[in-house]
Chains A and B, each alone.
Chain A
Amino acid sequence: MEWIAEASPRQLARIAGCLYLLNIVGGAFAIGFVPAMLDVAGNSAATAHNIQANDLLYRSGLLAHIGIDVTAVFMAVIFYDLFKMVNRRLALLVVFFTLVGTAVESANLLNQFVPLVLLGDGHYSSALTAEQLQVLAYVPTVVATNGYDVSSIFFGFYGLTIGYLVFRSTFLPRVIGVLLAIGASCYMAYSIADFLKPAFAAHLVPWVQLPSLAGEGSFCLWLLIVGLNVERWKQHASTATSRLEWAG
């Protein structure tokens, strides 16, 4: 842990980029790939069968999901440190939105454990029919997609806030800030569409996800490969420090 505590701004940026990459790849696996392989929309029996037959894949998806939630907490702290010089209050808001989004997302994973419990070792099959168990196992996985829409609202606000901070930072390219904000708006637009009219929202996939990938992908790769402009960051830091000292 020592090396995290004493990292330079560029190292911090690289670490954040690395965590972000894990987050994007893990997210694509847990939220994209695994459900695409196993979920059969509107068919509880087929979905239950797929989960039982691919137990390891299903559990790997859950594990990856817990992993990306952990990376999000680390990223929140690093982004606070990197951006507090730009605007301390907004940097705090980035942390708050990340924490709430991540906590909701993690709690929401509970829904996806229900199939493992109900379809597991046959404890429940004496009281309920196989069809009923399959329905009870399937409904929470549908509810879970709504849960991700809920956390996406908070990650959308996170994206708008950090997009603004990147835009104002001078130590990262402004265009990345704009892309982040556009991607965040798409997140929120999709979630709200899915709450209001799920049938319409289904038409938006996958197009609505592309701007988010462009925003977060470019941010992630820039942090990972370039880091940040240390000279400019230090300018910010010295202004911010003297400002604080002056204010007491």
Chain B
Amino acid sequence: MEAAREHSHLTIGMGRVIEQIGVASPQPRARITGAVYLLSFLFALGTLFTPGTPKDIVAHEPLFRLEFAVGLIWIALYIALTALLYSLFKPVSRRLALIAAFFSLVGCIIQAFASVFQLVPLVLGGSQYLSAFTVEQLQAMAQMFLELNVQANYIAVVFFGLFDIVIGYLILKSTFLPRILGGLMAIAGLLWLIFLSPPLANHLLIFIEAPGFVAELALMLWLLVFGVNVQRWKEQAAA
């Protein structure tokens, strides 16, 4: 690596320019990561008021449809966040950063696909051809698809938990972010794994969600306000 660096320096003969581009400060990308994180937080808040039964959905159809669209944009933002975090933690361990990204992508895919089930109650409302079933039967079917969506989200949460654990570990191994953030993320991630048993997780919901919220909020605010320790990041990138 040392030799290659020397070589490129000599052959291209514009070392200073390359130096400036090559070791470009990670600070803008840390701040952008924080900003995308913040945006994804805001979009996640927009999906908190999801109605639980087919009747609710039909009664509040426009609101429900809006939330559905907001939820998908949230997933798209989370994909961007995943790519940004990969790029931020690549200097710590390229392999682990990639593993974290893949966990997150799997979670995004499951959640995005299963979200379609939420629209089934609207499909099952009103049309003429549905008269082959009674209203109660249609509602029961709609309820089943809503439940399937919830179950799928439990699976997705486990993958997001694994994502958080690896990100937490990467923060702990990094020298450019406070270790406490890594500890919080790792604990939050471990707690999300309780969703492997949904009934247990639903019992402990507040004890899982609160640490998760605190950990992600802390990381988001830190990236947004302080970014990373530029000197240490560059050292780790060059190591």
Bound Cα distance from A166 to B189, whole angstroms: 38
**Contact, CB under 8 Å: B120 / A243:** no
Contact pick for B18, options A44, A150, A246, CB 8 Å = A246
State whether the Cβ of B143 lies closer than 8 Å to any Cβ in chain A: no
State whether the Cβ of B5 lies closer than 8 Å to any Cβ in chain A: yes
State whether the Cβ of A34 lies closer than 8 Å to any Cβ in chain B: no
- Encoded as 1 (CB less than 8 Å from any B CB) or 0, chain A from 146 to 181 comes to 110011011001000000000000000000000000
- Encoded as 1 (CB less than 8 Å from any A CB) or 0, chain B from 72 to 89 comes to 110110011011101100
- Encoded as 1 (CB less than 8 Å from any B CB) or 0, chain A from 122 to 163 comes to 000000010110110011001100110011011001000000
Bound Cα distance from A153 to B112, whole angstroms: 10
State whether the Cβ of A229 lies closer than 8 Å to any Cβ in chain B: no
B interface residues, tally (CB under 8 Å): 53
Contact A139:B79 (CB < 8 A) given known A129-B132, A150-B72, A246-B18: no
| Chain B interface, >50% SS class | helix
State whether the Cβ of B68 lies closer than 8 Å to any Cβ in chain A: yes
State whether the Cβ of A93 lies closer than 8 Å to any Cβ in chain B: yes
B159 shortest CB reach to chain A, Å? 13
**Contact, CB under 8 Å: A248 / B237:** yes
A204 shortest CB reach to chain B, Å? 15
**Which A residues are closer than 8 A to B by beta carbons?**
42-45, 88-89, 92-93, 96-97, 99-100, 103-104, 107-108, 129, 131-132, 134-135, 138-139, 142-143, 146-147, 150-151, 153-154, 157, 192, 195-197, 238-239, 241-248
**Which B residues are closer than 8 A to A by beta carbons?**
1, 4-5, 7-9, 12, 15, 18-19, 21-24, 29, 62, 65-66, 68-69, 72-73, 75-76, 79-80, 82-84, 86-87, 101, 105, 108-109, 112-113, 115-117, 119-120, 123-124, 127-130, 132-133, 237-239
Write 12 A-B pairs (CB below 8 A) sorted by A numbering. A45-B129, A92-B86, A108-B113, A132-B133, A147-B116, A150-B115, A153-B76, A196-B62, A197-B65, A248-B1, A248-B5, A248-B238
